[in-house]
Structure 1
Amino acid sequence: MCTEVISIYTLPDENNWNGRIDDTENPLSFRFHQVVRPKSIKELSAFTDKKTFGIIGFKCDEGVRRNGGRIGAAAAPDEIRKQLSKLPYHMEAEIVDAGDVVCEDKELEKAQSELGHYLNKLFAHSYIPIIIGGGHETLYGHYLGVRQFIGANKSLGIINIDAHFDLRTDDTPSSGTMFRQILSEDENAGYLCLGIQKFGNTKQLFAEASKYNCKYVSEEEITQYDRTFQAIDEFSGQYDYVIATLCTDSISSSVAPGVSAPSPVGLDPRVVRTILRYIIEKDNTLSFDLSEVNPLFDIDDQTSKLGAYLLAEVMESFDKKS
C-alpha cells in the first residue's frame, strides 16, 4: 500500500499566497499569506512545539471524468489557496504549503498512491494534513496515507459530509466508488455519511449502504443537531481514529454553484460549518480533505471562497484541541 511513487509531485507556488498587508510586524494583524510557508514536502523541517498544518493539493479530475461528471476540480487547489490567502489569521499554529500531487495521463490510481505516500510523510513529521482536492477521488488517497500511518490493525472511521454515498460498484475506480473500495478491502474501516439526499442516490445505492453497514443522516434530518451529534459521537467512539471529508456538492448550489454535481436542495454552509467544527474537535480526528470545488463553473469565485472559509474553520477547530 502506497509503496510506488511516481514523478507527479509539484512544488508549492508562492504566487498563491498574496493579499492585503495591514501590518508587517504585528501578528495580530496578519492574514494567512503572511503565515503560510511554502516548502517542498521532501524537505520538511523537524516538528516544533507549535501545531503545524501541512496543506497539500490533489489536482485531479480523472475520478470525476470516469464517473460521468463535469471536470474542472483539478483547478481548485490553487484557487482555494488564493482565497484562503486573504483571510485574517486567528491561530497560533504554523502552516506549511507542501505543494501538490498532480494526476497525469489519466493515471488516477498512481496519483492516489502518491498522495497517500506524501500524507504519510506529513504525519511522520507530526503535521496535521489538510488536503485540497480535486474530485472526491481525493478521499481514497487520503485514506491510503492514513492507513499507512496508523497501520493495518487500528480501526478507522471515515465521516463524509456528502449528498451521495459514493458506493458505486463500477469495476473502474472513480469519484463514485471510493467508499465501496475501502469497505470491501478494509475490515477495520467504517463509514458515516451526513447529508444524504434521497434523489442523489438510487435504491441500489441505499442497498449497498445497508450491505456495508454504513451509518447515515439524511439532508432532511441533519439540522436536528442533537441526533446528528449523537450519531457522530456514537460512530467516532467505535474507532481508534477518524478522518473527515467534505464533498462540496453537499452544499446548496445557490451558494456553491462551482461544484462537479450541483445540489439545488443542498445544505446551508452554516450547517456544514457547525458539523465540521464538531467532528474536528473530536480527540481522535486526524485529518481533513475538501473536494469537488470546480472553479470552471464558479460565479465570482464564491465556491472557492466558501471552500477557503471552511478550511480556515477546520484548522481553527484543530488548533483548539489540546
Structure 2
Amino acid sequence: MKNLILFTNKHLAEDTNYRSGEVKLGEKVNLISNEGDLFEHIKNSESRFVVFGICEDIGVKANFGRQGTSSAFKSAIKSLLNVQHNKFCKGSSILLLGHLNYEKESAIASKLEVHSKEDRKALFKLVEEIDKDVSHLVSSIVKTGKIPIIIGGGHNNAYGNIKGLALGKGKIVNAINFDAHTDFRIMEGRHSGNGFTYAFEEHFLKKYFVFGLHEGYVSKSVFNTIKSIPETINYTTYEEIEVRKEKNFEVELENALQFIKNESFGIEMDLDAIAGVYSSAMTNSGFSVDKARQFVHYFGKHKNASYIHICEGAPDLDLTNNQHLTGKLIAYLITDFIKSKSE
C-alpha cells in the first residue's frame, strides 16, 4: 500500500525508554518485515492484535472542525511502547504495523478554504481516497483472523473501518459509538460528520448504537432520522445518565450491547466525549476517563467485538507541557481492549 509506512526497529529504539530491571511493551512487540507479502506476514504472526495509525485531519477540516488529529498516533505509540510488559498485558500480543501517511494530501488540503464550495468538494475527494486505504487495510487484516486496533484521524474513518470489517467478514456488521455526536449527518460529501451515514446507506452497517449523545449537539433532522428507523439506530444521552440520573451507566451498557451483539461489531471511541481531552471538538462536560475505560472493557470482552478505533484526539492542540497525556490516555484504552480480549 503506497501510503502505509511500516514501523521499524529504528522507530522502536527511538520511542522506547529502556530501564534496567524492567521490560517494556516496546521490547516485545512484533513488527513486519519489508520482504514478502504484507498480509501473509500478518496472518503468520503470533500476535492477535494489529495496531496501526491514520495520520490525517482532512476529514475534520471538511466538517469545519479544529485540526490536529493527525498527531494522535505518534503520541499514543510513544506511551504504548513504554507500558510495562507483564502478566496483565504482553507485548508479543501486539503487531505494530505502522501508519497511513497523508502528508502530501494534507499539504493540498492546507491550501483549500473550507468555506469555499469548490474547495470543500476537493476536501471531500481527498477523504474518499483515505476511505479506500482504510477499508482495504481493515478488511485485509480481518481476513487474516487478526483484530485491528486503529488509532487517530478524524471520525470520518469510521466509514472505512465499518466497510473494511463488513468486507473482511463477508456480511453486514454493527457498530457501537462512544460519542457526543451521531456523525450521522447528510450525505453531502465525505467528512468526519457522516461516516456512519455512508456506511448505513451503502449497506455495510446494520445496527448502530450511539452511547452518550450530548442533547444540545444533535440536530432535529438527525433525531427525526433516528426516530424513523428505530430498529437500526438507537442511543442514550449523556444528560440522561450523568446529569438527570434518569438512566444508569451500567444498565445502559447492557442495553447497548443487546442492541448490537448479534453481529460482528466495531467499537468507535471518540475522545470528544471525554471531559478535558484535547480533541477536534473538546468539551469540558463529558464522561470521565474511568467511564471511557469501563466502556472499552465492557464491549471489548464480547466475542463479536472485532476492532476498536480511537479517534479525534489532537495532542497538538494542547499548548501546555502535557501533550503526552492524550497519548497516554489512548495507550490506556488500547491496553484495556487487549486485556478484555484475554478474559
TM-score (norm 1): 0.87
- Cα distance, 1:146 vs. partner? 0.5
Q: Per-residue displacement from partner, 1:231-284 (whole Å, max 9, x unpaired)?
A: 1231133x321110100000002xx1x200011111101111111111011111
Equivalent residue number for residue 165 of structure 1: 182
- Cα distance, 1:145 vs. partner? 1.2
More helix by percentage: 2
Equivalent residue number for residue 342 of structure 2: 319
- Give the Cα separation in 2 of the matches to 1:185 and 1:33: 39
SS of equivalent residue, structure 1 residue 83: helix
Equivalent residue number for residue 192 of structure 1: 209
TM-score (norm 2): 0.82
- Give the Cα separation in 1 of the matches to 2:282 and 2:336: 23
Q: Per-residue displacement from partner, 1:201-257 (whole Å, max 9, x unpaired)?
A: 2222222322343111111334613421321231133x321110100000002xx1x
- Cα distance, 1:56 vs. partner? 1.0
Equivalent residue number for residue 121 of structure 1: 140
**Unpaired segments ≥5 residues, structure 2:** 109-122, 243-247
- Percent sequence identity over aligned pairs: 24
Whether the 8 Å CA contact 1:167–1:209 is kept in 2: the answer is no
Equivalent residue number for residue 3 of structure 1: none
Equivalent residue number for residue 119 of structure 2: none
Question: Quick check: 1:78 aligned with 2:95?
Answer: no
Amino acid at match of 2:131: Q
**Count of residue pairs brought into register by the alignment:** 304
Whether the 8 Å CA contact 1:71–1:294 is kept in 2: the answer is yes
- Give the Cα separation in 2 of the matches to 1:40 and 1:262: 38
- Give the Cα separation in 2 of the matches to 1:212 and 1:113: 28
Equivalent residue number for residue 30 of structure 2: 37
Amino acid at match of 1:267: F
SS of equivalent residue, structure 1 residue 191: strand
Question: Quick check: 1:8 aligned with 2:8?
Answer: no
Are residues 222 and 38 of structure 1, via their aligned partners in 2, closer, same or farther at CA, if it must alter by over 3 Å? farther
- Cα distance, 1:51 vs. partner? 4.8
Whether the 8 Å CA contact 2:211–2:256 is kept in 1: the answer is no
**Unpaired segments ≥5 residues, structure 1:** 1-5, 24-28
Whether the 8 Å CA contact 2:172–2:203 is kept in 1: the answer is no
Equivalent residue number for residue 64 of structure 1: 60
Deviates more, 1:47-56 or 1:161-170: 47-56
Amino acid at match of 1:54: V
Whether the 8 Å CA contact 1:165–1:209 is kept in 2: the answer is no
Whether the 8 Å CA contact 2:199–2:205 is kept in 1: the answer is no
Aligned pairs for 1:66-215 (under 5 A) are 66-89=62-85, 90-92=88-90, 93-103=92-102, 104=105, 105=108, 107-151=126-170, 154-186=171-203, 189-213=206-230, 214-215=233-234
SS of equivalent residue, structure 2 residue 287: coil
Equivalent residue number for residue 274 of structure 2: 251
Runs of at least 4 residues off by over 4 Å: 46-51
Equivalent residue number for residue 21 of structure 1: 19
- Cα distance, 1:125 vs. partner? 2.4
Are residues 74 and 40 of structure 1, via their aligned partners in 2, closer, same or farther at CA, if it must alter by over 3 Å? farther
Deviates more, 1:200-209 or 1:264-273: 200-209
- Give the Cα separation in 1 of the matches to 2:93 and 2:257: 29
Equivalent residue number for residue 266 of structure 1: 286
Equivalent residue number for residue 114 of structure 2: none
Whether the 8 Å CA contact 1:58–1:133 is kept in 2: the answer is yes
Whether the 8 Å CA contact 1:8–1:111 is kept in 2: the answer is no
Are residues 111 and 225 of structure 1, via their aligned partners in 2, closer, same or farther at CA, if it must alter by over 3 Å? same
Are residues 40 and 175 of structure 1, via their aligned partners in 2, closer, same or farther at CA, if it must alter by over 3 Å? farther
Are residues 295 and 190 of structure 1, via their aligned partners in 2, closer, same or farther at CA, if it must alter by over 3 Å? same
Whether the 8 Å CA contact 1:58–1:101 is kept in 2: the answer is yes
Whether the 8 Å CA contact 2:55–2:72 is kept in 1: the answer is yes
Whether the 8 Å CA contact 2:187–2:198 is kept in 1: the answer is no
Are residues 304 and 212 of structure 1, via their aligned partners in 2, closer, same or farther at CA, if it must alter by over 3 Å? farther
Whether the 8 Å CA contact 1:244–1:287 is kept in 2: the answer is yes
- Cα distance, 1:176 vs. partner? 0.2
